[in-house]
Chains A and B, each alone.
Chain A
Amino acid sequence: AQTVTQSQPEMSVQEAETVTLSCTYDTSENNYYLFWYKQPPSRQMILVIRQEAYKQQNATENRFSVNFQKAAKSFSLKISDSQLGDTAMYFCASISNFGNEKLTFGTGTRLTIIP
């Protein structure tokens, strides 16, 4: 079984600053994927970034990047030059790579970007 833990229920940061959201996970699998999803207020959840566990290189998508520490089972999300539109719930999630289609989500971090 996989578990995902997000220990920061809420965070806030000034616009244009950088913020890092934390996530730890536990799995017995060797091959798995990790994700960050964003859920803006009253809007649908969207995928922000994806990381394959077998890749050592950290994934990046424009202003979003991850710090993947496999040994520590840590997967943090860094948002650079934060924008008002980044205000949302952010969920860390994992899935194993053996035909298991069940995403396991953390409890989320509510991020507020302050103008």
Chain B
Amino acid sequence: DTGVSQDPRHKITKRGQNVTFRCDPISEHNRLYWYRQTLGQGPEFLTYFQNEAQLEKSRLLSDRFSAERPKGSFSTLEIQRTEQGDSAMYLCASSSRGRSGELFFGEGSRLTVL
């Protein structure tokens, strides 16, 4: 296993378009997280899955954002009707049960909204 992988690594889109990011966690990890990181800031929590269940969502996750984790494996994060304020690095991480806070991060998907 090579770790958490994210795709695409970079995405440039025009305002109003929809974008989707994919995350493949470490295979034996049942927990998966999405964070958003803007320039000069630390990562901000967006949402968290345990297996296929989405257990927590941040208020940052507006109704234009949706995340899924079908079958408890990979996850997708979709942003509809993108806005310039959505420009950020979207980080995915996974962890195993019993190790709260010990996250394995992917390299991130950088979104630029023009």
Name A's B-contacting residues (CB within 8 A).
Answer: 4, 33, 35, 42-47, 50, 91, 93-95, 97, 100-108
Contacts and interface: CB of A to CB of B under 8 A. Distances in A.
Contacts of B28: none
Contacts of B48: 101-102
B100 A33 contact: yes
Interface residues of B, number: 26
Given A102-B58, A107-B41, 16 more contacts: A33-B100, A35-B101, A42-B107, A44-B4, A93-B101, A94-B101, A95-B100, A97-B100, A100-B100, A101-B56, A103-B43, A105-B44, A106-B42, A107-B40, A108-B40, A108-B41
B91 A45 contact: yes
Among A4, A33, A47, A100, residue most surrounded by chain B Cβ atoms (within 10 Å): A47
A107 B42 CA distance: 5
B22 interface: no
Interface string B81-94: 00000000001010
B25 to A, nearest CB: 13
B45 A102 contact: yes
A45 B105 contact: yes
A97 B102 CA distance: 13
Contacts of B33: 101, 103
Nearest to B33: A101
B12 to A, nearest CB: 17
Contacts of A104: 45
B31 interface: yes
Nearest to B42: A105
A87 B95 CA distance: 25
A46 B26 CA distance: 14
A101 B93 CA distance: 12
A91 B4 contact: no
14 contacts: A44-B106, A45-B103, A46-B105, A47-B102, A47-B103, A50-B101, A97-B100, A101-B100, A102-B48, A102-B56, A102-B58, A103-B45, A105-B43, A108-B42
